[in-house]
Every structure is written in C-alpha cells, then in structure tokens.
Structure 1
Amino acid sequence: MIGADYGAHLPWWFRLAAQLLEPWVRIKRDPAEPATLVHPDQPVCYIVERDGFSDALILERACREAGLPSPMQPMRLARRRRSLISLNKRDGWLFGRNRGRLPQEALGHLAHALDHTPDSDIQIVPVSIYVGRAPARSSGWFRVLFSENWVMVGRTRRLLAVLLNGRDTVVHFSAPVSLRAVLDDADRSDSNRFARKMARVLRTHFRRIRAAVIGPDLSHRRTVVDAVLNAGPVQQVIQQVAHKEKAPIDKILKRARSFAVEIAADYSHPVIRSVSFLLSNFWNKLYDGIAMHHFDKARAAAPGHEVVYVPSHRSHADYLLLSYQLHHAGVVIPHIAAGVNLNLPLVGPLLRRGGAFFMRRSFTGNALYSAVFKEYLSQLIDRGVPIEYFIEGGRSRTGRLLAPRAGMLSMTIRAFLRAPHRPVLFQPVYIGYERLMEGKSYIGELSGKPKEKESLWGLIGSLRGLMKQRFGHVTLNFGEPIELTPRLDAAHADWRRAAAEDPDAKPEWLNHVVNGLAEQIQVNINRCADVNPINLLALILLATPKHAISENDLLDQLALYKALISELPYSDRVTLTPMEPAGIIAYGEQMGWIRRVKHSLGDVLVTDDEAAVLLSYFRNNVLHLLAASSWVACCFINNRRMSRASILRLGRIIFPFIQSELYLPNDEEAFSDQLQLSIDFYVEHGLLEAQGDGRLLERAPGEDDSTFQLRLVARNLLQAFERYYITLATLVRSGEGRLTASELEKSCTLTAQRLGLLSELTAPEFFDKALFRGFIQKLREHKVIWVGEESKLHFDASLGDLADDARLILSREVRHAILKIAQDNNETSPEREVPVPTGED
C-alpha cells in the first residue's frame, strides 16, 4: 500500500516536473486495478518499451494512483537506483547523457542478484504507455499529428504529444512474470545469451501489445506490395502468363504490380484518427446513439489470434461503424475487404488509408489478379493484421441474412494452411438499425429497378439528404467467436503435415470445412441479434390485415413479444430493448414509422404502404427469434385442438427448411425443446389450455383476444409456409420429370408474384428467387426430390404427404389460390417475365 512517504525517494526536480505535468495528463489504466495482479511481498521491476522522462513521470503517477510500488524507488535486492528498465535507450539532452546499462545488461544483473539469493524472487511487470492513442471528439486536427504511432520519436515531439494529447493517455500493465520461474526453466550456460533472449522476448511482447492497441506497422505500403510480388505463388503465375502470352517477364510483372497497388490498403494512423474525429460529429448528427454489447468477451478471446471480423451486411455504414467503435474501444481497426465499386475519386483513397483493400467482384479468367489478391490476403494474415469482410457478398435488401459466398473464407483458410503461425478466430457481429440510409433505394431494387451505380456526386447528394432525417439508434452485438483450428482438426487430423508437404494444394475436405464455417458464422450472427422497438412494431403491424391495430391490442402484443423473447431466450447474447410497450409506441410515432388515428372508441395505430415495405426489413432481422413460438401458433390458425405430439412431429418435418432459411442452430432436438417450452409458455399465459395431462392442447374460440394474439404470432412464419406450398404444388401439378430446378424456381417465382398481387402483399421477399432456390436445394438434400434424365426433377409419394400436411396450416382459400395459379402457370407460357430482384449487390 502507499504511505505518506510514497514520494520521499524522488529527487526534487522529478517532483517538480510531475507537478508541472499533472494538469496536462489524464491516465486510463488497463486493467483498472493492476495492483490485484502483483504479489505485495515481492519486489517489482517495471519494464517499459521506450526510454523517456515523460514516460517515467506518467508511470510513477499511474503506480501511485493504482496503489503499486513506485518505479523510481531503489531495488535493494539488485542494488539498483530505480525499479525501472527501458528496453530502448537513447541519449538525453535535458538531464545529461544517459549512461545507464543496456537492457540486456540490466536484466542480466537482476538474474545475477537472484543467483546469490536463492529464496528471493523479482516480479517483472511489462508496462506499455500510449499518449494520444485516440484523441477525443473535442480534439483538434493538430493533435492528431502527435498521436501515438510506431515511430520512436524524439524528446521534443514526445513533449508536444504529452501537452496536446496527454489527457488521452493509456497505461497498460501486463501480468507480472516471476523472474525466478524464468531462471529455473532457462538454459543458464551462457548468461549473456540468456539476457539477450529475455530482452528479445520482451520486445516481441511490446510489439504485440502495440499492434493490438494502435494497429500493425504497415506504414510502408510498398514493402507489402514487394512481398506479394516476390512470393513464390505469384512468381510462378507471372512465369506462366508470360509464357502463355509470349510476353516479357517485366511486362507481366508490371501488370502484377498494378494489380497489387489497386488492391492494397495504405493504412495511415493519422488518417484513422482524423476520420475518427470527423465521424464523431457525423454520428452524433445522424444517430441518437451507438451501443456495443458483449465486446468484453470478444476482446478477451482475441489475444494471440488472427482475428477476422465477419459482420452482417445491411448498409454501407457497416464498414465505418464497426471500425469507429473498435477504435474508440481501444482495439486496432481491421483491414476491410471492399468492393472495387467503392473505389471512387477522393472517397477511395480515403477508405484505402483507413484500412480498406479493394477486390473485384469476379476473378474468373484472370489468373494473375487472383494470385496477387490471394497472396496479399496471405501477407495480411501472416503479419497478424485483423481483417473484416462480409461473407454475404452484398448488402441484404430484405433484412434476412443472405446465402454466404464463401470465396473469402476459402482464401483465408488456404492462407492459414500455407503459414499456420497464428491461430485464426472468426468474430461474428450483428449490426442492427432502426432506419436505413439506403431504405428508399432498397424499395426500388426490390420492386425490380436496377441497382444504382455508386458515384461521387450521388454520395454527396445522399449525405446532404441524410442530415435531414432521423435514424434512431444503432447496436453492434458481438457473437460467439469461432476458432478455425478445431474445425480443421475435426475435418482432417493430419492437416498440418499435409499442408507442410504441399502448401498450395487444395485438399478435398476444404469445401466441407468452408461451407460448415460459413453456415456457423451466419448462425452465430443470428444468435446475437438485438431486438429494438422498430423490430417489435414491424412484427406486429405486418401481421395485421391492413397494417392497423388498436392501441390496446398493440400494447398487449408488445408485452407478449417481450415476454416471449425474455422468458424463452434464443441465446445468452440476444439483447432486447428495455422500453415498456407504451414507450415503444411513442418512439415509433416519433420515428415516423407509425401514425395515430384518433377515434372515440380507442385510437388506432397504422403504418402506410411505403413504410410497411420498409418495416418488412426490420421484421426479417429478428424473425428467427420467434421461429419455434410462431410454428406452435401456426398449428392453431385453422385448428381449435391439436395434440402436443402432432405439433412436435410436424415441427421436426419443417425444421430443416426453416433452419436453412433463417439460419437457426443446426440441432433438431434443441428445436423440439424450444417447441415444448413455447407450448408451456402459451399455457402459462392463458393462450392455450392443456388437457389430458398436457397431451392435448386447445385454443379459445376465434373471437377471443388470446386467439387474436396467437394469430398475429403465427403470421410471422405464414409466408414461408406459403412459399413451401407453392413449390410443392407446382411440382405435383407439373408431374415427375417435367421441370428442371431452374424451371421450377422460375415457375414458383411467377406464382408468388401473382399471389402477391392478388393479396396485396407488402413483403417483396415473398417472391425472392433465392428463397425458392434454397428450399428446392433442401428438398434435394433430403432426397424428397432428385435429378433424373435431362436434369428433370423426380419425386416420390412423400412429397404429396408434405403437401397434405399444409392443410393444417394454410387456409382453404390460400391453398385454392395457389393451386389455381400453379395450374394456370403450367398451361401458359408467359411472353414476358416480370422482373424479379436478386438481392445481390
């Protein structure tokens, strides 16, 4: 503990300097209570990365405030004047030349002291000091120039950094190391060699900490480009292309260099801090707040790993939001894989200096570009640079997670197999919005309009319009991380030896690993969803026939959904708005999503048609959270009574299909357990009545409020079952061996479009080709249908059984409409196909 004489050993000039510096410095300790790491009865020797008077002042104050021994006090055991060693020495000018020992000499002296006192020990505590790592929102542009970086600056520059950015100082205390334990485990035959090795290990430790806090040392872009071009795989492809084109090597090398320059990021710490400074004001004007959940778990899992961030992709803001939040949380921002369409004038260079590296949409037919890009990615991974990419490929236009495009995952795994030095950790991130900047353009694209090409003027024009709108809150939830090595071990126990023998080989088990990893990433993103007020309002209003509901019914339904999500947790990382139902309604009105219609018998809340289309996006964000409870409710749409066993049996049948569509955890038993819990929840809350020891379940009559609530929950999944029935009905009506998979997909899409027009659906994803494609593929995987001669689809009687089960869920009117349209579709060959959105970026 610190006594009254804590600073008695300090010289007068040190105490004076400390008093002069104190108003300019505000220290943040990491961890907040480092004294808990240190044994109180053993001497401590602090090791700092760089020699400096200001660092000594800062460390002494941090130790005093934390209740740690002073670094300036003598070490009697080792006969040293100070309990402080600097790894990098330099000459001084203010207090004379520095005549202290070299670091390895000082470390050797400590080891020698312990040799003469066998019962004693010294705690080695590495301490990293960063001045101005992240200037605050109120910081000026000039301060950014003097923020922390990789350069060992002079004393004058360090003094300016302290005066300008001292109020953003981080002092990172690493866990202490027992010098006695190190000596016992080390080879002491050569004491000088031992001291040099220990100094080298400490330098590596400081570099790793610095890379984690302020980012990798990639300030020299050309060194990365040169490393890419000199790599064996790239040189081999250059030789092959030169031979094929009968061109000089220098010409192909020049082309490869142009590709590398086109791809490579130009990471700049000053630009990162400048953009952070700008974004602070931008986010404050655009959003009401940005929240992060479970980040502490993500940070705890990251050390020692190559971290690959794999967030959901719903807006162009995703890139900036995640990087901005990581930077302000004290974590180095990742290098981001961006589409080459974003490499716009002025914007592209800025993104590149912020860590973006650009990739073309397709590598097909360009072996040289493919080799350069893969090698660049390998260089990043080998250097321990955190990376970020979106495995969905493009932004989701429907609010659902898109089917993953596994190209980047495959390249990441192959790069690791070539150089498995640092284990790879994939970090899923869910990003949730209450309003999208691209909302109106998404409506147009879902209606069949072509995607607008990005341009500088379009970006400027959109920014001007954004400032006039309100976008609410944004949430970033960090999901459960996924380690790559255990998956490789499970796929092939001897993968390390195989990779060492042929680093560039593509093993036969790779596709299985990539596909399984891609699906697990999507599952883990959904497992950390955030349920905000707009999600809840969308779930309810879109389930009503005219997107209108009385205020009392809306209050009851909001309370029901909050109870469902909190009492039947989907996972421990799902977050739910703390707002009460009345507050959610008021917030929805403030945001302009719903409007109130006054009436003497009670107000009605409605949403307009255009808003309803956009609300379908926010409903789809969280649809998976209610999959089990919605299925149970679906069973009572057209049935007053149903056995528990039937609900569970049918649930097991439909599980593979909704699991694939909504990226539910791939566990049928867990889904059955969720069905059981949902049934018990409905019984407990009076929405169902259990009879016969709970084996038979009954709902109230159709006009009862509880039945109304069940129907609203059921309608969340109803459109999915209608799509399934469209597919089954189209196949059965067509007959075996009549349609290919692509013809079936096209026919189902047209049928869904027609049904949507007749029923005035406001959910464009109802006729999304990708959803039909996924369902057809799942039918093939389960051998319900299969491909015969001429790629025609065949099926057996089980397909008819699936269609018959639809009677329990879909009304007679809906089934009749689908069958009628499917029959008309078979009998006619439309001259013009209605444009169907693909949902691709």
Structure 2
Amino acid sequence: MSGVLGRNAALAFLDRRFFEHITVSDAWLRSVREAATRGAVVYVLRSESLVDVLALSHLVERFKLPPLRFAQDTNLGLLEPLGRTWLDTLLSRGSTVAQRLERAIEGGGSAVLFLKRPPTVLDTSFAARMRGKSEGDEALVALMKLQREQGKTVLLVPQTFIWSRRPDSRGHDLIDLAFGSREYPGPVRTAMQFLINYRSVDFRAGEVIDLGAFLREAGDEPDEALTRRLTYALLTRLERERRAILGPAKKPADRVREEVLRSPKLQATIRELGGEDPSAQHALLTKAHEMLRTMEAAPSHDGHRALKVALDAVSARIYGSIEIDRAGLERVRAAATQGTVVFLPSHKSHMDYVMLSSVLSEAHIQLPLVAAGDNLAFFPLGSLFRRGGAFFIRRSFKGDRLYAAVVDAYLRRLLRDGHALEVFLEGGRSRTGKLLPPRVGLLAMICDAALALPHRQVTFVPVSLGYERLLEERSYQRELTGGDKRKENARSLIRGTQALGGFYGQMNVQFGDFLTLDQVRAEMSLPAGDTLADEPRRALVRRLAHLAMAEINRVTSVTAAAVTAMALLSEGRRGVAWSTLLASSRQIVAALERRGTRMSAGLRGRDGALSEDAIREAVGLFAQADLCVERGSDSGDESLFAVPDEKRLALTLSKNSIVHFFVAEALVAVGLLGLGATAGEVPRDELSERVQQLSRLFKFEFMFRADKSFAELFDETLGRLADEGVLVVSPGGLVGYGAGVDGLSSERWVRAVADLLLPYLLGYWAAARALALLVRGPMARRELVRRAMAVGERMYLSGELSRREALARPTIESALRAFEDQGYLRDDAGKLSLVPPFDTTDTVSVIEGKLRALFPPEGA
C-alpha cells in the first residue's frame, strides 16, 4: 500500500468506535518521535493483521507521527479517500516491495511490515490467490539494501497489539487449525478477538533496532543469514512484550503434573525413601501425585476476572482508592520483558492475595502465581483462589521429605516455564503492623531453581502493601490479647463479612529496588556460576531475604492514619487536644521527611505542608471505628481526642506501619536516657555499648539493616542526629543534647522518640517476670506465653505497667526468643526451661534486673 492512510468516513467511524480508547505510553511516543528525528521509522508487526494496521494508522494520525506510506501486502484502497491515494495505488501496481518501500521512505513517510503470515486451513485458498503475499523476508532484504546503498538511517520499531488477555496454549486444537492460534491468529480469529476485546487492547513496543548499527556489527554475512538473525531479534523483542502481559503458554494440567513428577530431584527422593522396593516407590509416586493435585494452581482468565470483580466490589465498599507507585510499576513492566519476576510482598491481610494481582491486571502486566497457605483451600474461596492463580502449601513441612521435594519440583517447573511468582517472605500475616522476620524455605527453593537457569534473568521485587486500617483488625486484637487463631473456613468467611460495614481508609502499593542473585552474590563476593556450596548458598538466600525486607520497610508509604495513630498514642496521654495532635503530627512528618520516606499523596496540601484535613479525616476514620473518642467542651475549649485503654492495641496496628523509621533513633534515645543524659553528657563508647545491648534484645522484634555493621549504623545514626541539631558529639567523645529540632528542645525530642520503644520494654519486662514460673520445671512455650500474658495483666492492674498495648502476645513471644538467644532459656522439644545459674528463685530475678537496667529512669 502506498499513500497516506486517509481519514475517510469509514476510517473515521473505526477510529471513534474502536481505536480512540487505545492508550499509549509517553515512553512509546518519545521513542517513536526520537526515532523519527534520526531517520525512517519502520513498524514491525509479528503477524499479518489488517486490524493491527488500521489501529497503527490511527495512532500515527492521532499523534501526528510520520504518515504510513507503506503497509506490506495490505490493500486499504477501498477505505482511502478518492484522489491522489487512488492514483498512487494504480502507479504502485507492478512495483517491487523494494521500490514501494524506497518511495515511501524517501517521501518522508513511515512503513509497516509483518514477520509471519499465520497458516490456517480456512485462509489457505484465499491466500494462494493473493498476489504478492509473503512473510517479512523480502521487505527486510529491501530495507537492508536501502540502508547500504543510500545510507539513510532506518529504525525498526517492533509493535504488538494484544486483543485477547487469554494466554497462548501449548499444542493446537481444531479451532487453532482452522482459524490460527492465539499467538498467530488468522483474519477470522483476529476479527473475533478484536470485536470481543477491543476495549481492553494492549499496545506494546519492543526495543528499537538501528538497522545501520545492526549491519555494521554483522559484518559480511550473507543477506539470508542476516535476515534470519534480524527476524529472530525482532520476534524475540515482540515475544518478550507478549510474555510480559500474557505470561507463558498454557499447558494442560496433566502435562504439568507429568513434568513435575519426572523431576530428577523428586525421582531421587522417591528412590531414596522407597529403597529398592518398586511397590514402595510406586506408592510414594502416587502420594506425590495426590500432593501435587492438592497443591497446584489452575489459573484461568475467567478466574482472574472473577477475583478482580470481587476485590473491586469489596474495596469499593470499605476502602478508598489504591495509591500506586506508578514509576515502580513501569520498572516491573520492564523487568517482565527481560525475564521472570518474583514478587516478595509484605503480608498483613488476606487482601494481599488479590490486591497486587489486581494492580498488575489493571496495568496489563503478567499476573503471578501466588504461594498461599493451605488454610485458604476451603470451599468456596479455595476454588476461586486456585483459578485466580494461587497454589496452596502447608505452613510447615519440616520432617516430610516427600512433600518438600514435591514443592521444590513444582516451583522449579513454574520458574522454568516462565511464570511470575508471588511469595510472602513472612510466611503468615503479621498481626502487629510490623514486618515479621523472613522465613526462607520457599525462597531457598526458588533461588536454587534460578541458579539452575543461568541464562534466565530472575528479578526479585520487594513490594510494600499498605492499609490505613486492616480488615482483620478485630480478629487481630483478639489474637494479640491471647485469643486463639480461628481456623479459616466458610463459617469464618461469613463471619468476616461483618467487617464490610465500616470504612478502612486507603490502600497503597509501593515497589522497592529490585534484586538479583548476581547482584547479591557480587556484594557478598561469592563466586559466579550456577553452583554454590551449601553454606554460601544458604548465606545468599538469607542475605537476599533481609535485603528484600529492608527494601519493603524503606518504601513503605507514610499515611495520614499512621501519623495520626502515632501522635494519639505518644507518651501515653489519655487525651490529646486538637492543637497538640496537629503539632505532634507535624513533628512526626518533619522527621520522616528528613529521612526521605515516601509520603502518601493526600498527606500534604498544595503548599507542601501537612494537610490538616488529612489528619482530621484520619481521626474521623478512627472515631468511626470507636478507636478514639472526641470530647467537646461547653466552655469553648478545643476538642480532646481520647483513646480508650482497650483500643490502644488496635490503634497500634496503624502506628506500627511506620514505627520502623524511628527504631534506630529510638534505640539511641533510650540509651541516652538510661545512661543519665539528663544530668549531662555521656561517653560515646558507653552509649554505643548500651545501644548494642538494646539492638540484641530487640533482634526478633524489629527488622534491622543487613547491609552494614552495627558500628557503621550507630555512627550513621549519631551523625544524622548531630546534623539535625538533636545531639552534639564533642571531640573528646562525649554525647550531649544539641539546640533542638522541630520546635522541641533536644531533651524533649529524645524523650518523645524513646517513648516509641516503651511498650516493647514493658512487654519484655512482663515476660522476664514470668520466667520465675519456670523454677518449678519446664513449660511448653505456648503455655508460658499464656501465663506471661496473665502476669502482665496483673502488673498493668497494679500500675507497674503503664501501657495497655505492652500486653501483646507477639511481644511476649519475641521476648522469650530473645531470652533464649541470650542464654537464659533453652528449648527442649518445645518446652522451655531456665539455664543454670538462672534456674533458682534467687537467680531468675537477675534476668529481670538486667532488663530493668536498660529502662529510661521514668520508663515504668
């Protein structure tokens, strides 16, 4: 076809009816315009499609790009306006592809060609009658000749229109034979896909190829070889774009199972467990098959759509909009075109299972298969999740080698096939609002599989999933105060719908810096290659896990609800005046801004300052849930906002989403106060030792950075506080208070920050007091936690503990782990006992005394 594609009445109708809604990224527009300034733009489509050419012509016209003057083997004369284009069509008859291409490019236009023509039964006779029908070889040879002889720069821009979100399939059925596959649809199938899905078309461009640079790099290879190489390069770029949206071609479920069960590692495990007995091996293989059927995902396009509809219905009722890190999402899109993506999100809610997939679906990015606990496999939710891409695994499979081998083989197959994965490093949902320590079992299997695929780029993407209020708020509060976790089933699902009557604020999705095994190996100075000894491999996995968790913490978005919750709970005040609440919120935000944290879009007003409306809305959010109460005044005084004692723990869930930003400074603050900084300066070395003691105590409570040593992190924190004016470090190595910051004296600021750790110190105190129960003999860990909660309750009622939120079961559990780590306790088959010499009535109190010595003077 030669001549500009005119906008006659028929084309104008198509534009308005079918093509006007096609969205184009700014990156694509910049890329094509930049290419047009360098030379001739030639769009390359993977297969012949009149619909694609029409859509592309619309975009070229819409964005005033160089007009299309050549479309390979496509006759649009009937759709063009009368006049010059008819004359051009007549003149072009008998011309070769090379002549028509040259005429189009020399005239300042662009061209479009295709690489493959779909073979179908119904199209064969028609295609045979079409003169000039070809694949892209002839056009590519003509372009190479034009590039060599005239020296005009030719830029090849791979383009793909995806009219159906259903993945391609391995193997072909009668429909594929008749109408072409989804991958290479014939005209009839293309038309049907277009008419059904035109409102959700995906338009993507691969990396531009400079034909001149390609030829210079190739040297003196013959045109036939160059054409094959160029076609392969273009198809590879287009395939990457398709796979980044659709994922790998779908296989029948029985074929996937067969491939998993043939895994050499799984077969070796079966032979080892079954010995030489063929019947025992067969029984183990049958058992592995049943495990796999129970575990496997069954993703379908309809399943994904059903889950998205369900999420949209729920979120529209109880949540506001989802705030999305758009720049991070574009980085995810780019990573998906280069290889396999493994998402590592935080895990605070059952909403996590579908929220990330919903965001990716909206952005038309390949949806991951999600590792979910088998507690969610109950009817009907399990079936819906399975079709939405979830596969179900046990929380623990320690001691079951066959099950572990099946999981490992399944993950290897998924990764080898090119599926994106979503794995929650924390294992279960965090009930505290903070990140839990990573559990690396599944990650280790994924890393092993990735190491076995050295030519596949596997990118690990840390993701922070945030909520202003959690849907599970009530159940979490019950569990935090000692109640047992209820098993998920249909009844609990119905019971959970009671939460749908409230409003839970905003959700947000943030993406951290991506990680690769090569990058982490280089940082650890581990040798390159696809094999590692056991210990270096375990160290690699642990480092990757901690780096991912640190990234999640770093990119967590600061919301108005989190800031307001922290201000309401600060320093244990029973009531906070509006002006005080606002001032505290401003100080919190100012401190966070100095640390470069990400702020929720609604947190600041147009002038860049903290939005009073955002804080007022957050207070209203909590008041609507009865988490705080507003007390007015007949005398005209400003309102007071009070948090009932029994609601402080629930409010802590929101506060804890940002508490990690202050932990380093809070440890220094507690150390300063504990060493008596109120009376003067304290030696830097003593402060460092005290802060290190506190860090070790809280090693199971908070996620500390793994990229630097304690000494480096301490120096960094001290330097930051000195730069801000909070502290002064003398040349003689003494640390004292500075001029102050954010309108507060330094001592006042230090006390406020130290107060953030007080609930944890108090909770650990209750756990230390409860250790006296072990003098009588060992006790099951679960029972000791329960008894420690009761001890803490008595301490609270007697006035020893000043904060109700200190009595949280996870805090007690972390304290016991810390005492075990410090050598006070030992675990023998699930029972805890005191380690001599702390196993007597007189000596066990030493543990409590050592802990109390770390408290600030007025900490209790």
Shift of 1:473: 0.5
Give secondary structure in 2 for the equivalent of 1:345.
coil
Counterpart CA distance in 2 for 1:813 and 1:54 is 72
Aligned to 1:217: 249
Aligned counterparts, 1:240-639, within 5 A: 240-243=272-275, 247=279, 251-293=283-325, 294-463=328-497, 465-489=498-522, 493-494=526-527, 496=529, 498=531, 507-545=534-572, 547-569=574-596, 571=597, 577-578=603-604, 580-581=611-612, 583-591=614-622, 592=624, 593-599=627-633, 600=635, 601-631=637-667, 633-634=669-670, 635-636=672-673
Relative to structure 1, the CA distance from residue 750 to residue 485 in structure 2 (aligned partners, 3 Å threshold; closer, same or farther) is farther
Q: Where do 5+ consecutive residues of structure 2 fail to align?
A: 73-95, 105-110, 167-179, 605-609
**Taking structure 1 as reference, are residues 677 and 171 closer, same or farther at Cα in structure 2, changes over 3 Å only?**
same
Aligned residue in 1 for 2:207: 175
Percent identical among aligned pairs is 24
Is the 1:529–1:574 contact (alpha carbons within 8 Å) kept by the matching residues of 2? Answer: no
CA distance in 1, matches of 2:185, 2:771: 72
Return the offset for 1:164.
4.3
**What's the secondary structure of 1:470's corresponding residue?**
coil
Q: Which runs of 5+ in 1 are unaligned?
A: 1-6, 135-147, 500-505, 815-841
CA-CA distance at 1:346 after TM superposition: 3.0
Deviation at 1:299, TM superposition (A): 4.0
Aligned residues: 772
**Counterpart for residue 822 of structure 1:** none
Alignment of 1:763-774 (within 5 A): 763-765=806-808, 768-774=811-817
Q: Distance in 1 between matches of 2:259 and 2:599?
A: 41
Contact map agreement 2:340 2:457 (CA 8 A) in 1: yes
1:123 paired with 2:155, answer: yes
1:383 deviates by 2.2
1:48–1:86 contact (8 Å) kept in structure 2: yes
Tell me, yes or no, if structure 1 residue 65 matches structure 2 residue 85: no
- Superposition map of 1:158-173 within 5 A: 158-173=190-205
Please identify, of 223-232 and 541-550, the stretch whose mean Cα deviation from structure 2 is larger: 541-550
**Contact kept in structure 2, 1:548 and 1:606, CA below 8 Å:** yes
Change (3 A) 1:594 1:8: farther
Query: 1:805 and 1:239 mapped to 2: Cα distance?
Result: 53
Conserved? CA contact 2:454–2:530, under 8 Å: no
- Offset of 1:356 from its aligned partner? 0.9
Are the structure 2 counterparts of residues 150 and 350 from structure 1 closer, same or farther at C-alpha, using a change threshold of 3 Å?
Answer: farther
CA offsets 1:146-190 (integer angstroms, 9 cap, x no match): xx9944444344334434432433322223212232233337555
CA displacement at 1:28 relative to structure 2: 1.3
Classify 1:683/1:200 alpha carbon distance in 2 versus 1 (closer, same or farther; 3 Å): closer
Structure 1, 575-584 or 539-548: larger mean CA deviation: 575-584
Q: State the SS of the aligned residue for 2:156.
A: strand
The answer to whether the 8 Å contact 2:434/2:656 transfers is yes
Most deviating of 46-55 and 303-312: 303-312
Give the direction of change, closer, same or farther, for the CA distance of 1:47–1:181 in structure 2 (3 Å limit): same
Q: Answer whether contact 1:327 1:333 (CA < 8 A) is retained.
A: yes
What's the CA shift for 1:334? 0.8
How far apart are the structure 1 equivalents of 2:247 and 2:531? Answer: 33
Contact 2:546 2:705 in 1 (8 A): no
- Mapped pair 1:199 → 2:231: yes
- Partner letter of residue 280 of structure 1? D
Deviation at 1:514, TM superposition (A): 2.0
User: Residues 95-145 of structure 1: CA distance to partner in whole angstroms, max 9, x if unpaired?
Assistant: 9954445435325523652586173442211011123659xxxxxxxxxxx
Q: CA deviation at 1:708?
A: 6.6
Deviation of the 1:556 alpha carbon: 1.7
- Cα separation, partners in 2 of 1:698 and 1:365, compared to 1, 3 Å: closer
Match of 1:820 in 2: none
Alignment partners' CA distance in 2, 1:562 and 1:508? 43
C-alpha spacing 1:428/1:534, structure 2 compared with 1 (3 Å):
same
Amino acid at match of 1:619: K
- The answer (yes or no) to whether the contact 2:565–2:654 under 8 Å persists in 1 is yes
SS in 2 for 1:385: coil
Q: Which residue of 1 aligns with 2:112?
A: 84
Aligned position for 2:33: 36
The within-5 A match list for 1:678-717 is 678=721, 681=724, 683=726, 696-697=736-737, 711-717=751-757
- Using the size of structure 1 for normalisation, the TM-score is 0.81
Structure 1 residue identity aligned to 2:506: H
CA distance in 1, matches of 2:680, 2:182: 68
Contact 2:432 2:810 in 1 (8 A): no
Q: Which amino acid letter does the alignment assign opposite residue 43 of structure 2?
A: Y
Q: What is the CA RMSD across the aligned residues, in angstroms?
A: 4.2
The code of the aligned residue for 2:117 comes to K
Matched residue, 2:681: 643
Map of 2:3 onto structure 1: 9
Partner Cα separation in structure 2 for residue 689 and residue 253 of structure 1: 67
Q: Is residue 640–residue 699 contact of structure 1 (8 Å, CA) maintained in 2?
A: no
1-structure distance, mates of 2:374, 2:541:
24
In structure 2, relative to structure 1, the CA distance for the partners of 1:720 and 1:188 (3 Å cut) is same
Deviates more, 1:395-404 or 1:62-71: 62-71
Any conservation in 2 of the 1:541–1:607 contact (CA below 8 Å)? Answer: yes
Q: Which residue of 1 aligns with 2:42?
A: 45
Normalised by the size of structure 2, how large is the TM-score? 0.79
2: CA distance, partners of 1:706 / 1:497: 53
Note the C-alpha offset of 1:48.
0.6
Relative distance call for 1:753 and 1:590 in structure 2 (3 A) is closer
Q: Helix, strand or coil: the match of 1:27?
A: coil
Tell whether 2:720 aligns with 1:677. yes
